[in-house]
Amino acid sequence: MADNHGNTPAAWTAVLVSLAGFVVGAIGMSLSPLNWPLFWIGTAIVLAGGVVFLVMAKMGFHEPGH
């Protein structure tokens, strides 16, 4: 396992973006009637978190001590 264990700016940013997506999706699912567009927006935000991670990792932000 890597020495950084995910404690990098890329990992933290991806987690925060994905967390925001989960919150948006949960709000969409908790409304009555269900707000499917809001749920799918949340899903897109979660997927964007993965893209953000990949881009930041390519930029070198997934290296320890950065």
pLDDT surpassing 60 at residue 5: yes
> Is residue 1 scored above 70 in pLDDT?
no
| Neighbour tally for 37: CB within 10 Å | 9
Residue 6 binned pLDDT confidence (cut-offs 50, 70, 90): confident
Task: Give the number of C-alpha atoms closer than 13 A to the C-alpha of residue 4, restricted to the C-beta side.
Answer: 13
Confidence band, pLDDT 50/70/90 cuts, at residue 2: low
Tell me the C-alpha distance between 19 and 15, whole Å: 6
Please give the average per-residue pLDDT across 22-29, as a whole number. Answer: 97
Alpha carbons 13 and 17: distance in angstroms, whole number: 6
Residue 52 exposed, middle or buried by CB count within 10 Å (0-12, 13-18, 19+): middle
